[in-house]
Structure 1
Amino acid sequence: MLRRSISGPRSMPEPLPRNLLLGPLVAALLTVLGGPPARAEEGGGGTLILRHGGSAPVEAPRLAADAAIAVSGPTARATITQAFRNTTTEWVEGTYLFPLPEDAAVDAMRLVVGDRVIVADIRERQAARRDYEAARDEGKAAALIEQQRPNLFTNAVANIGPGETVIVQIQYQQTVRRSGDTYSLRLPTVAAPRYNPAPPALLPAADRPGEPDPVPDRNAIFGPVLDPSRHAPVNPLTLAIDLKAGFPLGSVASATHAITVEAPSEDERRIALRDGATAADRDFELTWTPAPGAAPALGLFRERKAGTQTVLAVVTPPAAALPAAPAPRDVIFVIDNSGSMGGTSIRQAKASLLVGLDRLRPGDRFNVVRFDDTMETVFPDVVAADADHLAQAKRFVAGLEARGGTEMLAPLRAALEDAHPEETGRVRQVVFLTDGAIGDEARIFQAVAEERGRTRLFMVGIGSAPNGHLMRHAAELGRGTFTQIASVAEVADRMRDLLVKLESPVVTDLAATFSEEAEVTPAQLPDLYRGEPVTIAARMRPAEGRPTLGTLTLTGRIGDTPWRTVLDLDRAQEGAGIGKVWARARIGEAETARITGRMTPEASDAAILRLALDHGLTTRLTSLVAIDATPRRPRGARLARADLPLNLPAGWDFEALFGQDVPHDPDPILHRRAELIPAAARGIALPQTATDHEVRLMLGAVLLALALLLRIGGRRVAR
């Protein structure tokens, strides 16, 4: 993190209409938040009491959120409104850990206190934190948005008055995903607990001495987690999507939530949650397809702004050009059976792996690796996909249970290790099934970039809230694809689609050439699989008197056959937010270059700061901060700090994750009203396995007390 202060032009967000902030939406949120706290009962909501450090217990603010997303062709603009209600008689600072899509370009934030609207600006991260803390200590209303990961953010809101509701509104831009003729949009709603490898200070000195902490910010990426067996879900979410696809629509559906769909026109849909407010405990996914015969032949868009033009091209190679004879494959299946996979997730993963085994063809070879905080392979090396080997692998998979930590690095390296690099006639693929609930993503990216060789890595996200940043970026570095399976009902269809891609030859040696000067992302194009498009963004500055953007030429090979297509960029349709999408992608590339050593940390940080400040984006090095000018909290009044609790992702097993013998706070108010399990308070901040360390500690304390009593009694007898 840079300590120097960097100044530069700040990109201020366009103001929103005041009625968007203070109208029916806020009223609806207040309705969701309203009403007296529920009585604390087993399985009920209760009043959530939290501790922070050694301070006295404080009731957590209530939170309700609304997501309003406008989809326009290839991009989406989202407005997330969070309402924090303080039901106590104290002044409170609330901190909330929340997820966003991994490609979200967060560029605007507004704080609403009463009838006052305070617009945030983007600042270098340390400066924003200092300004926020100074305003908090002075009693001013303030809010701070910080990125902890590209898909994980914290929102701190200071000086929420007794009985008061404060509104924080965040905006971001993202791209729409496409695979074949299916378009999709995903909104994460819960920050899943993440496993963090132990810091070196807690390891034996002989184990890699001097190695840095693999997760130096481990305390920043965890919040308290509610046990769903004892408490009703919190943090209700409402959702509305205005979908303008740009072509006549066919099906519009969600596999994760019940929705209502209105059709104002043939190319527009309005989507809402059927049940109104829903628990924030799983990702929301929306998919849509074009009407028969209405699929767009070309996805080419541009945005003009401040003398530059940004172009977004989405191109899918023709499936008819693919040869029929696929090459034999070596497929290594890796399955995560750690504690976070407990519940329905392990069943999804096992079912997915069995589907994958059934799709192997004669001539293919395979192996299976399982891992938690240990790892095990079924065979010493890849073996023929014959009936005996497949039966042995299926028995192994059937016996797997979720337990232990998520030590992902060793099994990843084992799967990437190529024992037969000379066999160039075979395709080598790794299918990695996990929820990705780890905090040391950087080590995973570095390993993939350094050790992938000729292997292609396919990530399969399991469960209701997988770590999309890890999964998608690891797949990009591994020149594979990312598939998400949110429920058991999706296993057959999603795995079939993935395995068809794996079985289909890829477009290799892909290259993009612009006829005019352009700053292009991605710098290195991936391999392409059947139905999988390539998305390229470029910023261009047309010369004076020569406004043409020229052409984009894509070349590659399909098997042994050359493939080439030329796009006239001047035919691009007008699009919104493409410049921010380009900047966000360039920032991601700079982060990857730093992690993999292709850029020095200083050069990477300088590039990220320049892009973030120019485009007003929240990054690892920049934050959005909003500060009211007038102090509100009376001088001398205490400010209580509360970390808002999170739901456990739907389908996760609380006991498999945290262990059965979870510690109870001795405070009787805490015990009666609510039981929160903060991960950071459990030694190392990571999901725990079922151990008996608490029992042993208590037993040790009892034995120590008995020893002291016996010693005192012995001295009295001696006298």
Structure 2
Amino acid sequence: MITCNEIETDSHSILSRIVTILLFLLAQLVATLLIGSVALAVSFEPVWSAEAQPAAFIKPSDARAGSLLLKNDDGYADATRLGIDVDITVSGPTIRARVTQLFRNPTQQWVEATYVYPLPDGGAVDTLKMVVGDRVIVGDIKERQQARVIYEQAKQNGQKAALTEQERPNIFTNSLANIGPGQTVLVQIEYQEPVHQSGNEFSLRVPLVVAPRYNPAPVVQTADLRADGSGWGATKSDPVPDRDRISPQVADPEENAPANPTSITVRLQAGFPLGEVKSHHHQVQIESPDETTRVIHLANGPVPADRDFELTWKAAAEQAPSVGLFREHVGSADYLLAFVTPPSAAQVEQKQLAREVIFVIDNSGSMGGTSIVQAKASLVYALGRLRPNDRFNVIRFDDTMDVLFPSSVPADNRHLDTALSFVNGLQARGGTEMVPAMRAALTDNAGLDGDDVRQVVFLTDGAIGNEQQLFDTIAAMRGRSRVFMVGIGSAPNTFLMTRAAELGRGAFTHIGSVDQVEERMRGLFAKLENPVVTGLAATFSNAAADITPAALPDLYRDEPLVLAAKLDRLAGSIEIKGRIGDRPWMVTLPLANAAEGKGISKLWARRKISDAEVARTMRQMSPEEADKAILALALEHRLVSRLTSLVAIDKTPSRPVGEPLKLTELPLNLPAGWDFEKVFGERARLPVQPTERRADAEAAKTQLALLKRPAVVPAPSTITLPKTATDAEAKMMAGSILLALGLILLAVNRRQRFAR
């Protein structure tokens, strides 16, 4: 017979075991969370999310854009928009950037996310990582079509997969397949680029938003296909065949809280004592660990991705290094990166040649808002800098075009007054037909017989999709003209600007705010008015070298020559020579003095790829030859290019068989300063009050996990990490419940013992 004391003892024993098990489980959960935090070095920050209200959205072909839209059978369902973290390290002449994108699927459906985003056009993208559950999958470089096939097969198999593709050198697309209900997935890319230098100022630019592009309509041509005229045929050519891939949805700022919250950190290790460090478009906090180092953070936390981030720095003594030489050994080759700034040509005495300056101003709809104000102010300043012996003309364009004077006129008061009235009366409207305006500007009646200097100053935001048509026009018609591109606004198309200036043997200047107009235009005219360093050549004394750029460009005032080379050995010296005005100039640099650098081999390969694209445009290489060279370089150096992509596949299927997959498209913000109605037409007014929008933005909070560990694995691999793509909030809640239950049972147990 079992006694009451035995029953009581058994109950106490059972309770004790339950408490022990619960406490063990709780301790295991806490340990897992702690190990995960240490292993991932993850930090959490609050970011914006438009989670509560349905969002209006616009696609290029129809209506509005919102936060994150999940396409379903009934149309679009609202979902959470998550954030981006940009972590940059500047090491002397090179920049290493890590961009982490966090996606969360709050729906009960399996989704595929696609996101179009910008990167610097000179960036060498070489790393893709995807965090899935307890693993980090490192991507591999493949030919573009092969990578797409691998991704599509993994998507069909229910495996998580990430694909990074280049749409333009400055526009990329990330696709992420099979995000499960409630799951959070991180995708991280890394890229390398050189620091930009102008005189004693160094800078970097992080593009944060892809501005809406104007894409000219396809051209349909008809032709008589028969000799007797009895039959007709039609051919269709599309100047922007990938228009759908570079035209993401754009949020209407009148109807949506800011989206795409972005955190930015810059670790600046200049290699010389620093003077002024300045962020031009964002408020920042700057820490100064020592005289050569600065750590820069956004002052007010994450910001909406609606304008480029620009950082500049100067040497403490206003004396920037005029020469820099850096080396890297990879495989059996040595790679060299040289920065050489010739002496200022301002002191060189020369006869001032008469100039013909053709000003072109973009007054299309994308220039609405503050951009047209900046452009007009810049042109007014430029007209005021013309000399009496100069001639000029002004061209304005949207989807139409006007040339102010039948031909170039003297820069006298009468003609300048007419031009000022013309410029002041401009308003932003219509499409962006840039190619006809460039043709008109490059039409040179005097031709090579002209004895003046012919310069084209082109002011635009560059928001077009048919860049190649513009490049072909410049290559075919440049003649003796030199093309100077002036980028206007918060998010200019820097790829178009830099490539057009390169093909036009000119320079590129960016004006991001009205406050920069006078300073930046003064710098531009210093280039226009001073002698050019010409005839540049570089030779190596004791090494065979593959140099990029293949043809060294002319240099304008304060511009450095940036040269990269692949060497069979690091020996001897490099000699660079040219002419400043009418005077010879030369510098010799011993290679033994080169400092150690990182990522130089990738910068060399990226610039060689750019050389091949330019040679193709200039008809110096056939399309087949150019593609072969680009593919070989990209595969050897593991770079994303027009012909290669990075793909990462989780080998473990996650989406159940038969479960449908929904497409997710992530819209972007309208670039800061743009006028939505000028670009997309008048909106249908919705009854949303500003106070309600602010309340939505403040009430909807998410967590942005920042993956900080750099990828060092050169081939596809899997690294085991604590689970980060599961529902952390649910785990924490469950842990709290278990802890509370354990404490209650422990108290009951003790009470019963005291009762005995």
TM-score higher than 0.5? yes
Is structure 2 residue 325 aligned with structure 1 residue 307? Answer: no
Is structure 2 residue 314 aligned with structure 1 residue 289? Answer: yes
1:134-283 superposed matches below 5 A: 134-201=153-220, 210=235, 212-283=237-308
> What corresponds to 1:678 in structure 2?
none
Is structure 2 residue 422 aligned with structure 1 residue 396? Answer: yes
> What corresponds to 1:713 in structure 2?
none
Cα–Cα, structure 1 residues 69 and 501, in superposed 2: closer, same or farther, change >3 Å? same
Moved more, 56-65 or 261-270: 56-65
Q: Please report how far the alpha carbon of residue 636 of structure 1 lies from its aligned counterpart in structure 2 after TM superposition.
A: 1.6
> What corresponds to 1:581 in structure 2?
603
> What corresponds to 1:503 in structure 2?
529
Question: TM-score with structure 2 length normalisation?
Answer: 0.81
SS of the aligned residue for 1:303 comes to strand
Out of 399, 424, 429, which is 1:373 matched to? 399
SS of the aligned residue for 1:531 comes to coil
Letter in 1 for 2:577: T
> What corresponds to 1:659 in structure 2?
681
Cα–Cα, structure 1 residues 19 and 534, in superposed 2: closer, same or farther, change >3 Å? farther
Out of 557, 562, 565, which is 1:530 matched to? 557
CA contact (8 A) 1:186 1:285 kept: yes
CA contact (8 A) 1:372 1:407 kept: yes
Q: Please report how far the alpha carbon of residue 432 of structure 1 lies from its aligned counterpart in structure 2 after TM superposition.
A: 0.4
C-alpha distance in structure 2 between counterparts of 1:230 and 1:39, whole Å: 10
1:452-491 superposed matches below 5 A: 452-491=478-517
Percent identical residues:
55
> What corresponds to 1:32 in structure 2?
47
Q: Please report how far the alpha carbon of residue 388 of structure 1 lies from its aligned counterpart in structure 2 after TM superposition.
A: 0.4
CA contact (8 A) 1:60 1:94 kept: no
Measured against aligned partners, the alpha-carbon deviations of 1:68-112 in whole angstroms (never above 9, x if no partner) come to 000001100000000001111111111000000000100001000
Q: Please report how far the alpha carbon of residue 38 of structure 1 lies from its aligned counterpart in structure 2 after TM superposition.
A: 3.0
Is structure 2 residue 343 aligned with structure 1 residue 318? Answer: yes
Q: Please report how far the alpha carbon of residue 49 of structure 1 lies from its aligned counterpart in structure 2 after TM superposition.
A: 6.5
SS of the aligned residue for 1:513 comes to strand
Whichever of the two has the greater Rg, that structure is 2
Out of 655, 661, 666, which is 1:633 matched to? 655
Letter in 2 for 1:181: N
C-alpha distance in structure 2 between counterparts of 1:52 and 1:597, whole Å: 44
> What corresponds to 1:614 in structure 2?
636
Unaligned runs of 5+ in 1: 1-16, 665-673, 675-719
CA contact (8 A) 2:548 2:607 kept: yes
Out of 619, 624, 637, which is 2:646 matched to? 624
C-alpha distance in structure 2 between counterparts of 1:103 and 1:242, whole Å: 20
Cα–Cα, structure 1 residues 572 and 41, in superposed 2: closer, same or farther, change >3 Å? closer
Cα–Cα, structure 1 residues 240 and 271, in superposed 2: closer, same or farther, change >3 Å? same
Q: Please report how far the alpha carbon of residue 325 of structure 1 lies from its aligned counterpart in structure 2 after TM superposition.
A: 4.1
SS of the aligned residue for 1:131 comes to helix
Out of 109, 114, 126, which is 1:95 matched to? 114
> What corresponds to 1:594 in structure 2?
616
Cα–Cα, structure 1 residues 648 and 656, in superposed 2: closer, same or farther, change >3 Å? same
SS of the aligned residue for 1:648 comes to coil
> What corresponds to 1:23 in structure 2?
41
Measured against aligned partners, the alpha-carbon deviations of 1:124-161 in whole angstroms (never above 9, x if no partner) come to 11111111111111111111000000000000111111
Letter in 1 for 2:308: D
Out of 566, 570, 592, which is 2:592 matched to? 570
C-alpha distance in structure 1 between counterparts of 2:65 and 2:251, whole Å: 11
Deviant stretches of 4+, over 6 Å: 17-21, 203-206
Letter in 2 for 1:528: L
Letter in 1 for 2:401: M
Cα–Cα, structure 1 residues 457 and 53, in superposed 2: closer, same or farther, change >3 Å? farther
> What corresponds to 2:749 in structure 1?
none
SS of the aligned residue for 2:522 comes to helix
Out of 402, 414, 439, which is 2:440 matched to? 414
Q: Please report how far the alpha carbon of residue 33 of structure 1 lies from its aligned counterpart in structure 2 after TM superposition.
A: 6.5
Letter in 2 for 1:85: R
Out of 304, 313, 337, which is 2:363 matched to? 337
C-alpha distance in structure 1 between counterparts of 2:85 and 2:495, whole Å: 23
Cα–Cα, structure 1 residues 482 and 625, in superposed 2: closer, same or farther, change >3 Å? same
Out of 653, 660, 669, which is 1:647 matched to? 669
CA RMSD of aligned residues (A): 2.4
C-alpha distance in structure 2 between counterparts of 1:335 and 1:187, whole Å: 25
Is structure 2 residue 539 aligned with structure 1 residue 513? Answer: yes
